[in-house]
Structure 1
Amino acid sequence: MTCTYNFNAGPGALPSEVLQEAQEEFLSIHGIGASVMEISHRSKQYEAIHNEAQQLIKELLNLSSEYDVLFLQGGASTQFFMVPINFLAEGKTAGYVHSGTWSGKAWKEAKKLGKTMILASGEKNQFKQLPDIDSLNIPKEMVYVHLTSNETIGGIQFKNFPDTGDVPLVVDMSSDIMSRPIDASKFSLIYAGAQKNLGPAGVTIVIVRRSLLELIPDSIPDILSYGVHAKHNSLFNTPPVFSVYMVNLVLKWIVKKGGLQGMAALNRQKAELIYHVLDNSGGFYQGLVHKESRSMMNITFGACSPEIENKLLKELEQEGFMGLKGHRDAGHLRASIYNAVPYEHCKALADFLVDFKKRNG
C-alpha cells in the first residue's frame, strides 16, 4: 500500500493503532458477535463504551464533579446556535471574541437569536494576529463570553484564555481539544467536533458546568436543550454510536502517549520542525500569520509566487502528501498536524520543503 502523509484539516488523521483496533473489532465488538454499529445504544455493551469515554475526558481534562460530558450531533456548527438558544434570553447580551472564520460564524448565528457584542476582534489585522483579550471590557450582566481557541482556516491559536470573572466563558475547541493541557475550570462550556483530534466526524463533545444548566428555559425544544441531554446522559435520542466508540479508542491512545502533557510535547516538536523550515527559507516560504499568534495545529504558509505554489502542491500530491492545499477562503497551503499526525510525517514534509527550495529557489 502506498504511504500517504495525511495533513487534512478535517476530518483529520486518526492514529494507525486505533484504526487497526477498530478494524479487528469491526464485525464483533468485545466478542458478542455483532458490530458496535448494530447493537442497541441501550445495551450494556454500548453504555460501557459511552460511560468510559465520558470518564476518560473528565480524567484527561481534570474536570471536577461540577461538569457533565455530553455526546451530541450536528458538529460545532450546531453549537453555534445551541449556545445562544440555551442561554441568550430576550433582553440579555452575549459577548464574542472575533478571531477569524469560525468565531465569526458563531457570532453571526448568535446575532439571529439575540443581542450580541464584539468584545475583541482581529479584523483590523486581517485575522492574521490574535485580538487582545487581556483587558476585555465585560459588562457584569453579560450572559456569556464566547471565543474560538484555534482558527483552522487562518492558522492562529490562543495560548492563554481571558479571566471573565462571574461571566461564563464558552469556547469552541474543535481543532485543538486534547492537544495540550488546559485549565478547564476557566470554562463554563467547552464544545468540540471530534473530527480533528478525537475521532471521526459525527459526534460533538460538549462539556458543561451544571450550574449553567439551571439557566436553560423550558420553552426550547428538548432536542436542543443541554439540560435534557445531560438528564438523559446523552441517550435522549440515538447517539452516533460508532463515532463515540472511536472517540473512546482515541482517548485511550492519548493516555498511552502520556496524556495531554505528552500530546503537547509531541505537537510542539512537530510544529517547530515545520516552522523552522519556513522561517529559514530566505523568503522562499512565508508563514501567513504573526509568529506570536501561530497555531500548533494548523500551519498556514505560502511560497514566493503563485507558479511556485502550484508546482509545489502538484509535486506534494505526487509524493503522497494529502490535504495541503489551503482553505478556499485563505488560499496558499496549510499543514494540519493534529495529535494523530506522526512526527515522521512532519519530518518528511519538512525535508520535502527543503529539497523543493533547493531545486526551485
Structure 2
Amino acid sequence: MDPVALEQLLYEVRSSHAKTITVPLTSLSPGCVLAGGSWDHHVVVRRPVPVGATRATVNVRHLYGGHTLTLGMATGTDVTIYHSRLDPTHVGLVPTVPRCMVPEDPEMGDRVFQHYHEVHRLGEGRFFEFNGTEWQQVVDLVDRGRCRTTVRTFPLGIRHIVSNPVDPDPRGWYTYLPAGHRPFLYVDGIPVPARTVDELTVGDTIRIPGGGRIRVSDIRRNSSATTLNVTLVRKSRHPMRHFMWDRTEGAVAEHHDSGRTRTLYPTEPRADELINAVGLAVGDTVITAWGLPFSTVAVIDEVYGQELLQRMSVIGTATDGRPVRTVTGLDNRYYLLHRPRPTVAHSRAGWLPRARAHA
C-alpha cells in the first residue's frame, strides 16, 4: 500500500481490525507505525541506528503528538507495524513537544504536568509539585467504591519518571511549569496559555488535541464549584470526546470544576495579551511567534532590528536548551509568561539592538 497523508492514516489505524504486518527491526523506516503493545500508534521518525553488534535505537513519536522518544531493541527483533504507513514527507506534521527538563534546583511551587495521548476529559489536572524539599503528587484512589485522596512523595526526584532516556514513558508527555510564571500547555505541539477555571471568561477558546476548539459561552460560579457552558466550535479529528458526547459543531455541554484539582485549561491568548517584539526584554520568558507553526516557549537572549522597516529578529533559548530565532514584523505575536525584575537600566535607540544578554 502506498504511504498516505497524516489525516488519512489516523482514520485507517483507528479501527481495532486495522491490518498489521511483521517486519525485521532493520526494515523500519520513517512513516512506519508500531502496532499493539505499549508503543501502539507511535510513528517511526528516524531509521534504526546501530549502537553495537546486537543493539539498535529507533526514534518514535505518538501520532497525536508528544516527545520524540528513543527505543532500544535487539537488532534481530521482529516488529509489528500497521500495514498503512505515513508518507515520510509528512512525518514533520506529527506534533512535537520539546523534552521536559527538570532542573537541579527546583523552586517551591514548581510543577510538572503529566499529559496522556488518550484523553476523555476537559483540562489538565494531574501534576507533580515541588514542596521545597521533595517532589509530591496528590492522587485520588478508589477503594471499594469509595474515593480517597493520598499524597505520594518522590524523595529520589522525578527525572526517572519524566525524562528517563533508558525507559521512556509511552503513555504521554510532560510539561515543566516554574513557580511565578504564567502557566502554559502544549496542544498539537503548539504552546498555548493555560488558565484555571477562576481565570476563564466568557468568550475564551479552549483548545483540544486534533485541531478541536471549545468556546466558553457562560460561567456560573458558586461556593462549591464553577459551571462552564461550552460550545463545540471545531471538532477534533481524534476519536476523543473530551466529555462532549455530541461531536457535532455547535453542540453545547456543561462542565463542572470544583477548583480542588487546580486543573488548567489550554486556551488561545486574548487580543490584549499579545505584544510585539519591541516590547520584549532580555530574560523574558515568552511564547514566541504565536499563530505560526514554529511557535515555541523561549527565554529571550537578544532582540534587534529596525522599527521603521517593521522587521525584528528575536533570539532565545527554548525550554529544552535549543537555540531559537524568529523574525517577525511589528504585529503582536508574543505572549509574556514571565519577566524578571530589572537589575540594570539600558538605554535604547531605534536602529540599535533592542536588547542584549549581558555576562
Q: Pick the TM interval, shorter chain.
A: under 0.3
Higher strand fraction (1 or 2): 2
Q: Which has the higher helix share?
A: 1
- Higher relative contact order (Cα pairs below 8 Å, separated by 6+ residues): 1
Q: Structure 2 length as normaliser, TM-score?
A: 0.26
Higher Rg of the two aligned structures: 2
